[in-house]
């Protein structure tokens, strides 16, 4: 099988490439990335594989000609490229629309004109916005951020392919955990960095707000097996746990007893979101089992060099 991973040099892309490279059924992996985050870690270190051909195309998802060329001879396309959300995601709506919405429109258009059998699109639980009840796939999307809006609009393009049996949409929770191509703007990862090196964590709002989470190794595992399982085209959620910010702080405090934490705008109750972890995907593939958060964070901290 020949695979194209758009955004393949990023945080999730790196973990996915490493998994796919170990599969005997994969013969070719093409990484398509504009390297805008300046993260070159995927390309360094030990050889990934001997039996799989791996190559890089440095290109942008808004470059239609380059996308179409990259899809020649490809069986499966993973679309992971995105302008990701941050605590300041509402400052610049244009970039989210440009990359996440219209970039995905270009990807879908290129797939439609190709012989690609399946597109796997990585969306986000941000499309649900806030919710008093745990959300599932039947929950109506109600995004509250420019990021969430852009991902939902992108899904609408991918749905054209899903209606023809050619696409799977994965709405992932907040991804966390150690990886060769780290992101430190994700909440657990940022907390781990601050706790380890500064012994101080900054908490936005009251800390009571909850989010849905999925470990990096779990999302990579699920994505890597999707093309080889009989998963019907459609939309699926992916998160293994729900934690409040204070839940996270409690575990870090246990691991680092002298840890301090400060609240910023403590009077604010930020939006709350939890996901039903009885996932529809479990009907079609064996999902990873969630580990104890303490064990995961302890392992994360041990990966820092000092």
Q: Would you state the structure tokens that stand for residue 130, as one six-digit string? A: 């806030």
Query: What is d(CA 162, CA 234) in angstroms, rounded to the nearest whole number?
Result: 6
Classify residue 94 as exposed, middle or buried by CB count within 10 Å of its CB (0-12, 13-18, 19+): exposed
In the prediction, which pLDDT does 151 show? Answer: 95
The pLDDT assigned to 290 comes to: 84
Residue ranges of the chain whose pLDDT lies below 50: 87-89
So what's the pLDDT on residue 98? 87
3-class DSSP state for residue 106? helix
Give me the pLDDT at residue 91, please.
60
- pLDDT on residue 3: 98
pLDDT tens digits along 126-146: 999 988 899 999 999 999 889
Count the neighbouring beta carbons within 10 Å of the beta carbon of residue 69.
12
pLDDT, residue 86, reads 54
Longest dimension (CA), the chain: 58
CA distances from 298 to 9, 164, 178 (A): 26, 44, 11
Quote the pLDDT of residue 131.
Answer: 82
- What are residue 5's DSSP bridge partners? 31, 78
The pLDDT of residue 90 is 55
The phi, psi pair for 300, rounded to 5°, reads: -60, -50
What pLDDT, on a 0 to 100 scale, did the predictor assign at position 181?
Answer: 94
Region for residue 135 given its phi and psi (left: phi exceeds 0; alpha: psi -120 to 50; beta: otherwise): beta
The tokens of 127 are what?
A: 């499309």
* R_g of the chain, CA atoms, integer Å: 19
**What is the per-residue pLDDT across 54-65, written as a single tens digit (0 to 9) for each?**
999 999 999 999
Long-range Cβ contacts of 25-29 (<8 Å, 24+ apart): 25/1, 25/228, 26/1, 26/52, 27/1, 27/2, 27/51, 27/52, 27/53, 28/1, 28/2, 28/3, 28/52, 28/53, 28/54, 28/55, 28/73, 29/2, 29/3, 29/5, 29/53, 29/54, 29/55
State residue 47's pLDDT score: 87
Per-residue model confidence (pLDDT) at position 25: 94
**3-state SS, residue 221:** helix
pLDDT in the model for residue 46: 85
* DSSP bridge pairs for 237: 171
In terms of Cα–Cα distance, which of 239, 237, 273 is closest to 155?
237
Burial class (CB in 10 A: 0-12, 13-18, 19+), 241: buried
pLDDT at res. 88:
47
């Amino acid at each position: 099988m020949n695979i194209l991973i758009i955004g393949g040099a990023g945080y999730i892309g790196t973990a996915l490439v490493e998994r796919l490279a170990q599969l005997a059924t994969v013969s070719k992996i093409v990484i398509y990335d504009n390297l805008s985050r300046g993260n070159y870690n995927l390309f360094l270190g030990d050889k990934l594989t001997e039996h799989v051909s791996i190559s890089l195309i440095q290109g942008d998802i808004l470059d239609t000609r380059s996308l179409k060329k990259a899809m020649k001879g490809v069986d499966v396309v993973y679309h992971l490229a995105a302008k990701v959300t941050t605590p300041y995601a509402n400052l610049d709506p244009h970039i989210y629309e440009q990359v996440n919405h219209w970039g995905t429109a270009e990807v879908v258009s290129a797939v439609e004109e190709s012989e690609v059998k399946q597109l796997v699109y990585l969306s986000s639980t941000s499309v649900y916005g806030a919710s008093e009840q745990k959300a599932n796939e039947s929950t109506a999307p109600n995004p509250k951020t420019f990021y969430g809006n852009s991902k939902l609009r992108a899904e609408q393009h991918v749905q054209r392919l899903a209606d023809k049996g050619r696409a799977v949409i994965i709405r992932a929770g907040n991804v966390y955990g150690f990886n060769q191509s780290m992101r430190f703007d994700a909440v657990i990862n940022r907390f781990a960095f601050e706790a380890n090196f500064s012994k101080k964590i900054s908490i936005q709002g009251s800390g009571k707000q909850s989010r849905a989470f999925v470990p990096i190794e779990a999302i990579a595992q699920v994505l890597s097996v999707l093309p080889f399982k009989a998963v019907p085209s459609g939309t699926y959620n992916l998160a293994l746990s729900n934690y409040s910010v204070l839940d996270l702080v409690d575990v870090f405090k246990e691991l680092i007893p002298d840890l301090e934490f400060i609240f910023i705008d403590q009077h604010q109750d930020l939006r709350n979101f939890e996901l039903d972890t009885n996932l529809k995907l479990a009907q079609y593939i064996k999902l990873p089992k969630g580990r104890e958060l303490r064990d995961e964070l302890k392992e994360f901290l041990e990966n820092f060099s000092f």
